C-alpha cells in the first residue's frame, strides 16, 4: 500500500484519541478519529438526513446502517478517514479524506459537515484549513481534489477562502437505484438539459499556504 494508506491505518489504530487541536477564541477545539458509539451514530444519521440534498446519493437512512458504514466504510477501509470535531467536548461536526489516486499522489476532501443546530462562526473555515494542511504535510499529498453541487454556493464560498479552484462543471442526471437515487454524469445531446451540476475542484499546497495566515493548530503525536 501507499504511504497514504499506511498512515491512515496507523492513525485509526490509535483509537478515539485527540489527533489535532485548533485555536478558536477561548474554546477547546479537538479532532478525534471516528468511533461507533450510540451518540456518534445518532448524530451522523441525523446530519445525513438534514444534508441529504447535498449528497450524490439518497437511500434508506437508519442508525443501524450508519454504524455498519462507520466500521466497514471508514474504520476498516484503508482509503478513507473520518474525524469528529469536538468543541469544548461536544461533538460539532466531521471531516475526512477519500479517493487516493496513486498516479497523481492526490486525495480528496470528504464529509465536511457540521451540526445544523449549533453555530460557531468561522470555525469550519479554520478546521478546513488546518485539516487540508495536515493532508498535504501528514499524508504527503501533492494535490487535493473534491466535488460539490454547483448550487451549493455557501460551501463553495468557504472553499474559495482556502484557495480551491474549479476545474470542471459536470452535467448530471438523477437515476433510480435499488433503495434510493444517485446523481450520475450525463452526456448532453440535442435539447437534453442537465438536471443539476457537480463542480470538480482542486487545491495545491501553494494556494492553501497563501490563505493560512489566520490559523493556529497542532497535530498531536499518536
- 222 falls within a domain: no
Q: What is the mean pLDDT of residues 31-59?
A: 97
Within-domain flag for 29: yes
Residue 220 lies in a domain: no
Which CATH number do you get for residue 68?
Answer: 3.40.630.30
Burial 26-46 (b: 16+ CB within 10 A, else e): eeebbbbbbebeeebbebbbb
- Edge-first strand order for the sheet with 90-101 is 57-58, 180-185, 165-177, 196-203, 143-149, 106-114, 90-101, 81-87, 27-33, 18-24, 217-219
Q: Is residue 189 part of a domain?
A: yes
- With cut-offs at 50, 70 and 90, classify the pLDDT of residue 191: confident
Measured CA to CA in angstroms, residue 172 lies from 7, 26, 149, 181, 187 at distances of 34, 44, 10, 12, 8
CB-based contact 163:155 (threshold 8 Å): no
**Per-residue confidence at 190, pLDDT binned at 50, 70, 90?**
confident
| 196-203 and 143-149 strand pairing | antiparallel
Residue 104 has a CB neighbour count (10 Å cut-off) of 11
pLDDT digits (tens, 9 = 90+) for 132-147: 999 999 999 999 999 9
Count of domains forming the chain? 1
Q: How many Cβ atoms sit within 10 Å of the Cβ of residue 175?
A: 10
Q: Determine the pLDDT at residue 4.
A: 98
| Domain presence at residue 221 | no
Residue 63: all three cell numbers together: 442508525
Residue-wise pLDDT for 87-119, tens only, equals 999 999 999 999 999 999 999 999 999 999 999
Average pLDDT over residues 172-193: 92
Instruction: Supply the pLDDT for residue 209.
Output: 97
pLDDT at residue 1 tops 80:
no
74 burial (CB, 10 Å; 0-12 / 13-18 / 19+) is buried
Average model confidence (pLDDT) for the chain?
Answer: 96
Q: What are 121-124's contacts with CB under 8 Å, separation 24+?
A: 122/24, 123/24, 123/29, 123/87, 123/92, 124/93, 124/158
> Does residue 219 form part of some domain?
no
- Which residue range is the domain that position 109 belongs to? 3-213
Give the DSSP letter string of 43-88: HHHHHHHHTGGGSSEE----HHHHHHIIIIIIIT-TT-EEEEEEET
Q: For residue 160, is pLDDT > 90? A: yes
Amino acid at each position: 500500500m501507499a504511504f497514504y494508506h499506511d498512515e491512515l491505518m496507523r492513525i485509526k489504530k490509535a483509537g478515539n484519541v485527540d489527533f489535532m487541536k485548533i485555536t478558536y477564541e477561548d474554546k477547546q477545539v479537538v479532532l478525534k478519529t471516528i468511533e461507533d458509539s450510540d451518540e456518534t451514530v445518532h448524530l451522523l444519521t441525523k446530519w445525513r438526513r438534514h444534508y441529504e440534498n447535498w449528497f450524490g446519493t439518497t437511500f434508506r437512512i437508519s442508525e443501524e446502517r450508519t454504524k455498519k458504514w462507520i466500521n466497514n466504510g471508514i474504520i476498516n477501509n484503508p482509503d478513507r478517514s473520518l474525524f469528529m470535531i469536538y468543541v469544548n467536548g461536544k461533538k460539532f461536526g466531521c471531516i475526512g479524506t477519500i479517493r487516493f489516486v496513486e498516479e497523481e499522489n492526490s486525495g480528496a476532501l470528504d464529509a465536511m459537515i457540521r451540526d445544523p443546530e449549533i453555530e460557531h462562526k468561522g470555525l469550519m473555515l479554520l478546521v478546513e484549513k488546518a485539516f487540508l494542511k495536515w493532508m498535504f504535510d501528514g499524508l504527503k499529498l501533492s494535490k487535493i481534489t473534491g466535488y460539490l453541487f454547483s448550487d451549493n454556493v455557501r460551501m463553495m464560498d468557504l472553499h474559495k477562502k482556502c484557495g480551491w479552484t474549479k476545474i470542471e462543471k459536470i452535467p448530471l442526471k438523477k437515476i433510480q437505484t435499488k433503495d434510493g437515487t444517485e446523481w450520475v454524469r450525463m452526456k448532453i445531446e440535442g435539447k437534453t438539459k442537465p438536471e443539476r451540476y457537480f463542480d470538480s475542484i482542486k487545491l495545491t499546497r501553494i494556494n492553501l499556504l497563501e490563505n493560512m495566515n489566520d490559523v493556529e493548530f497542532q497535530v498531536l503525536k499518536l
